[in-house]
Each structure stands twice: as C-alpha cells, then as structure tokens.
Chain A
Amino acid sequence: MMDSKKIIRFALAALLVFGLMGPALAAEFPTKTIKVYVGFSPGGGTDIIARTVASVAPEFLGQAMVIINKTGAAGTIAAREVSQAKPDGYTLLVAGGSETVSVGHYRELPYHPINAFSPVIRISRDRMILNFNANAPWKTLKEFIQDAKRNPGKYKYASSGHGGIYHSAMLAFCDRAGIKMKHVPYKGGAPGMAALMGGHVDIAIASPSEARALVEGGKIRSVTLTSLERTPLQPDVPTLKELGYDLYLENQKGFVAPAGTPKERIMFLHEAFKKAYEHKAFVKLCTRLKIERGYLGPEDFRKSLMGMYNQIGSVLKK
C-alpha cells in the first residue's frame, strides 16, 4: 500500500504531466467529440456497425464519438449533411451502401456520391445473397434461369426498396443472366424475407446475416451471392462468378469524411479506426452480430466504391 506522501507526490506528478500535455494536445487533432452521421434508424445494420465501432474506437481516438441518426431518403439526407459539413475531420458518415453506389443512378442527388467524400476506412462487407423459398421447384440457380428465360416477367423478386443497392444488384443479376423479372419493393429486408417465406415472391435478396437463421431452419434456400469469393457466414453458397456470371456488388460499410479533409487527419482517423477494427472486443462483437469484417484502406475503399458505382451505372444505362 502506498503511503499518503507517495500518493500526493504521484498526484502532483500526474497533474504536472497532464498540465503540460494539455496545450500540446490541443494543437493536434482531435480536440472535440467526433460526430458520426448514420443515414438509417437506430438498430439497423448500418447503425449497429457505427455503434460497435464507437464502443471501441474512442480509446484510440482520444475523443468520444457521438452517433447521429439522420434518417430518410435511403440515407441520402445524412450523406448530404456530411458532404456539406466543414471538412475538418470531426464529421464522418457511415457510407458505402445505397446512398453511395446506387441511389445516384436513379435520381439527381445534391452531392456527388463518390467525389464529395474522402474515404477513411472500410469496416465491413455485407454480401448480398439470393434466396429461394425452401419449397421452390428449382434445385439450382441454373434451372431457375432457364425457367425464367422461357417465362419472361413471370417471377417476382423482393428488394428492400426501389433504387437501393439490393434492387440494383437484382437488376444487374437479371441483366447478366438475360432474364426478366418483376420487382416488388418492400420497406427493408425483413418484410421481403417474410414475403419469400409466405410464397408471395420467388426470390428475395438479403444479407447473409438475415438469411442464415432461416436457411438453417429450413425455411429458405440460399442459391448464390453477388460476390467474387464465398462468404464465411454461408460457405457452401456458390458465388455468381463461380456460376459464370461476372458481377461483383457488395453492401460495404465504412467511414468517410467530407471531401477536402486534410490528409493527416484522414490518416489519423484511419489508424485509430484500424486499431479499433483489430481490437479483440470489436472482433468478438462482429462475430456475434454476424458482421463480416472487411478492412480496406482509404485508397482501396475509394477504388472499390468507384468500381461498384460504375458497375451499377453500366447496367442501368443499357
């Protein structure tokens, strides 16, 4: 046990150290809370990613993170807000999904979905997986495609909304496979899955984390995913590439800052988030939440976003 003198000396030393460090730190970045905008409601997939990162990252940032849910218009309200924010690194957006790569192709947006932002880090890659009802007559995707070719417009698919990334993925799939299907938009992924189980649509596209429990429970069958390699969440589902269709679309999630944010600050944030990303607690949470971690650095993240943006654009322009 320390005696009281030691305690006082220690406290004085600590005070001195912090007193000296205070001003030095203030000149650096970050000196205040970092705001993270989320374009979707609390509890959704995007929000969960922001909150799990925020539960670990402040340790490495040296500042708190506050999550601001600015919902509406498929995440574009939050994206516009961040695109217009001061590029000082204190305002970030969780981006990479519909608002970044998809919605801009369907309508005019008040910001450029890619160029208005400066990517910081990619945290997760949520795949998009195509599912049949468990009792569907087709054993494989091939059988379905043949059937659909004979009956253009007969079969229906559910998506989480018009112009979203899932809708784009289905359009791209139909384009590559040379088939025609009807689109039935639902509000979010879950109602679409319910419609698939109830037999009201023939295909529903969802993320593996949504689909897995139902696949294991024998309610639905996952047939393929729009990716280049298989997902560890459902390793026995073949990718479209394996089946001979060239399509690579993923619902990525990561942090972006407004364009024009100083490079050092981006790199600082990147380092801090990367440490959080590798932290044991974060890895454990991701495993439990069925989030597929998928790190990419600032440049790779931008390239990846750009690639997907252009890919969707090329499908829609046909």
Chain B
Amino acid sequence: MELLIDQFFVAIQGSNLLVLFLSTVAGILIGAIPGLTVNMAVALSIPLTIHMSLAQALCMIFAIYVSGIYGGSVSAILVNAPGTPAAAATTLDGYPMTQQGKAGKALKMALFASFIGGIMSIIILVLVAQNLAAFALKFGPAERTTLMVFALTIVGVLSGRSMIKGLLSGAIGLLFATVGADPMLAVPRFTFGMLELEEGFGFIPVLIGLFAVSEMLVQAEDRMQTSIKASYKESSDREEDSRLTRKDILLSWKTIIRSGFLGAFIGCLPGIGATVACFFGYGEAKRASKNPDLFGKGTVEGVAAAESANNAVAGATLIPLLALSIPGDALTAILYGALLIQGVQTGPLIFQYQLDAVYLIYITLTLANIFMVATAASFMSFFKRIAEVPRRILFPIIFVFCVVGSFAMRNSVIDIYIMMGMGVMGYILRKFQIPLAPLLIGYILANPFEEALRQALVGSEGSLKVFVVKPIAAGFLILTVLAIVFMIRRTLSARGEETQGGENREGEESEL
C-alpha cells in the first residue's frame, strides 16, 4: 500500500502532468484524423522515451493510446470516418445521431462510455490480472474457432431489415479477407503476383473506403450544398440533444457495464483486439436491448456499447503483457519495447520484483483516462461545430486525409487504390440496400477464424471432435446455437406481426 502511495506521488509530478496533457491532446487529434493511427504515434514516441523517466514514458504512451481510441470515435461520429479501427462500430449509431443534430449527445456519450469502460478494465487489471491471464491461456485454436463462430452470429444481429442481404454482405466480407497470403501456408490468394497484396487489403483502407469514401459519394448526390445536419430531414435543434441527459445514462448504463466486461474479456485474449471487441459489445447490446430496432438508426445506447467495449480493451491487453510477457497486439508489442528500454521486464516475476513499475502502470493508466475526459470535454464545442461546416468543404478535406492516411499505414500507394475501390464498391452496395456493417464484421473475423480453424484441424488431424470435447469450445458452440435460435424466433415473430398489420406496408421489402 505504501508503495502504491509512493508511486502515486512519483506519477503526479509537474513534468509528468505536462507530458500527460500534451500527449492527450496529440492523442485525440491523431485518433480523430483518419489514417493517423495510435500505433504509429506510439511507435514514433518510443525514441523520445529513451531519455525520459519511467513515469514520463508511461504517461506519454498511455495518454496517446487511451485518448487516441476516443479520438477515433470523434471522426466516426461526426463524419462517418472512423479515425481508428476500434471506432468502426461507433459509426453505426454515432453518425446517424450527427445527421439528426445530436452530435453533441453522441460525442458526450462516447466520452462517458469510454471513460467508464477504461476505468472498468483498469479495475479488472488490478484485481484479477493473474487469474485472467491463466484463463486466457486456455484459449487454444479450438476455443478461438468457436469464439469466432459465435462472434460471426453478430452478422445476423446487424443485418437490419433483410437478413439475407445482411448475411450476403457478411459473406462478401469473408471473401475479401481471403485476399493475401493464407494464414497457414502463406500461399498467396487472389494477389495476382503483387507482393503488396499478400498482407491482404489492410484493415484501414477497407474501413476508410467503405465508410468515409462511400459516404462522400452519397453526399455528392445533391452536390453538398448544406451542412450534414441541415441535409437531414428530421434533424433537431433542441438544446437537450447536445447534452447527455439522465435518461440517456439510465438507458445505457447496463450496456456500458456489459460492454466493458466484454471488452476486457476480449482484450485479455492475445491477438483478437479492440475492433472485434467493439462489434462484440455492439452486437450484444443490440441483442439484449429492449428496442433493438433503434440500433443503427442513431441510438445513444449503440454509441455507448461500442465505445465502452473498445476502451475496456486498453487496460485488458496489459493483462497478458504484464503477467505472461505476451503482447497481444501491435500496440502492446510497442509498449513491451518501451518498458524494456526503461529496464522493466514484464512476465510472471514482475509482480514480485518490480511491483513499483506495476503500480506506476496502474496509476498512469488511470491518470490517462482522467486526462482524456478533462481534455476532450474542453474540446467538445469545437468538435460539435464540425457537423455544421458545409459539406462541400468538409468532405473534400476528409477525402484528402483518407487518401494520405491510407498511404501512411504501410507507405504503399496500393493501399490508396484499395481504399478508393472499396469506396466505390461501398457506394454501389449501399445503392442496392446492402448493409455494410456485416461486411466489415465478416472481414475482421475471417482471418482469425480461418487461422484458428486450420490450426485446430492440424492438431486434431482433421477431426471435428476437438470443438465438442473441450468445455470452453463446446460452451461457445451452445451459445452460438442459442443465438441462432433466438434470431430465428425474433424474425418469425416480427414477420407474424407484419402479416397481421402488413396491409398498409405495401411496397416495403420485408424478407426473412
């Protein structure tokens, strides 16, 4: 305890707080600009940390990380261009809210949910890091496969009015994800001899293309003569729409807590990541919600679900890193290097020999969350005004940033072409009323799913029995079956209602 208090005073020295503040501002901006990602920023800050104290280095890295994830949601909400992959699910409800003139509310809910999610994951990290790390190790290929199968049912949840088209979109996502070297034998698929395509389409170009670029094309239809808000028929200017009311919080607190736990759970499994977490949180929120039909049309609950989940990942990814010295994603790999430079060796012994460093990590991560809230809150009025900028000014600027950002991901021109191609395709799919969110989920889940499935089958020599004998794997399979049954029942009952009162819904496409 004494050590904890000592470390607290180490952490709150003036210079550290200055570093925290500056990094938070930088993090929010980097996160908000599509293409400038948190990973790049943190990697670039590593050489700076060589000359810093441990506390300063941690302040800098965590502040960029935590506020960067929030920053990604700002552009996701305001212009449908997720600034970081982790904010992909935030667009689904955040952007419709902006169109309805509720940008302020959405941004504040995102901030609130991010903060709660972040703090929850820190609590989990502090209390059960070692137990959870041991649990995460149980997730071998078989368990991961079934987890991914379960995650794929979210495609159905997010399909909207036409289940068939939603599933179709998800399958297109799966197919796109097979472009590149196959995860087991590195055989190039659909690359036509281009080495650049071996890594696949890359997540950022696909994401930016599908969402931001296709949005620009949709907006171009009326030559963008007004602002986003004014272009939307049902937009409102009521004062309460830019505030976070008690009603909103009462509506979403359960969602926030649930998503926080889900995010922390996904975060502690190495190699799955914040993007999957935010869709998981979103999908489960929709499944559990009393009014699932509002999801995707601008409900504050949807924003809360996605944001709480992706920020909860931040603390949880530290669990395998600290307890087992296993960096679960690119960012924790960078953090691992930064800690080594400071002479901190992660791994099972860190809790015995370098407890001061562990405490410092807890404290700086908490401080980073607090600074994120304080700084973002003061930026709020500036952010809100972006929704009022005329679209004809806003969208060309966003487009240019998308292009340069896609290039910056891997310093490769091909990524720009991929982004543009995805944008045009996304636009066409939208014109054919095919939802894009399932495509993205399929795209994200396909590679980890294929990898785990084939790894599991190598181990079992082709026998599918592994998925049933292992208790965790079997559990996820049962959950999957339940989810599908639940989904079928809901569509059937929805259809029943429709046939009763269906006369006045002439012309509406209502399919399974």
- Complex interface: chain B residues within 8 A of A162 (CB): 184-186
B451 touches A187 (CB 8 A): yes
- Complex interface: chain B residues within 8 A of A197 (CB): 137, 324
A288 touches B270 (CB 8 A): no
Q: A5 to nearest B CB, angstroms?
A: 37
A297 within 8 A of B: no
- Complex interface: chain B residues within 8 A of A51 (CB): 46-47
Q: A178 to nearest B CB, angstroms?
A: 22
B199 touches A288 (CB 8 A): no
Q: State the CA gap A214–B411 with chains docked (Å).
A: 35
B270 touches A200 (CB 8 A): no
A289 touches B337 (CB 8 A): yes
Interface residues on B, range: 35 or more
A191 within 8 A of B: yes
Q: State the CA gap A43–B186 with chains docked (Å).
A: 23
Give the contacts of B109-165 with A (CB-CB under 8 A): 136-141
Q: State the CA gap A219–B326 with chains docked (Å).
A: 12
Which of B326, B336, B412 has the largest number of chain A CB atoms within 10 A? B326
Q: State the CA gap A186–B138 with chains docked (Å).
A: 16
- Complex interface: chain A residues within 8 A of B337 (CB): 43, 48, 289
B5 within 8 A of A: no
B492 within 8 A of A: no
B459 touches A156 (CB 8 A): yes
Q: B55 to nearest A CB, angstroms?
A: 17
A313 within 8 A of B: no
A69 touches B411 (CB 8 A): yes
A73-B199, A161-B186, A288-B343 known; A218 and B348 CB under 8 Å? yes
B385 within 8 A of A: no
Which of A41, A193, A194 has the largest number of chain B CB atoms within 10 A? A194
Interface string of A36-75 (1 = CB under 8 A from B): 0000011110011001001100000000000011111110
The dominant DSSP class at the B interface is: helix
B349 touches A213 (CB 8 A): yes
Q: State the CA gap A70–B411 with chains docked (Å).
A: 6
Q: B193 to nearest A CB, angstroms?
A: 9
Q: A255 to nearest B CB, angstroms?
A: 18
A156 touches B410 (CB 8 A): no
Interface string of B334-359 (1 = CB under 8 A from A): 10110011110111110000000000
The count of chain A contact residues (Cβ–Cβ below 8 Å) is 52
B215 within 8 A of A: no
B325 within 8 A of A: yes
Nearest residue (CB) in B for A193 is B326
B326 touches A190 (CB 8 A): yes
B330 within 8 A of A: yes
Q: State the CA gap A200–B455 with chains docked (Å).
A: 10
- Complex interface: chain A residues within 8 A of B50 (CB): 55, 285
- Complex interface: chain A residues within 8 A of B185 (CB): 162, 185
A198 within 8 A of B: yes
B346 touches A213 (CB 8 A): yes
Q: B132 to nearest A CB, angstroms?
A: 13
B39 within 8 A of A: yes
B458 touches A156 (CB 8 A): yes
What are 20 inter-chain pairs, A to B, with CB distance below 8 A? A43-B336, A72-B196, A77-B195, A156-B458, A156-B459, A162-B184, A163-B186, A184-B455, A187-B271, A190-B327, A190-B328, A194-B136, A194-B137, A194-B270, A197-B324, A213-B348, A219-B348, A285-B50, A289-B340, A290-B340
7 closest A-B pairs by beta carbon, nearest first, are A217-B348, A213-B347, A42-B43, A43-B334, A200-B140, A198-B137, A72-B199
Task: Name 8 extra pairs, CB < 8 A, besides A77-B198, A185-B455.
Answer: A72-B198, A72-B412, A76-B195, A161-B186, A191-B271, A191-B326, A213-B325, A217-B348
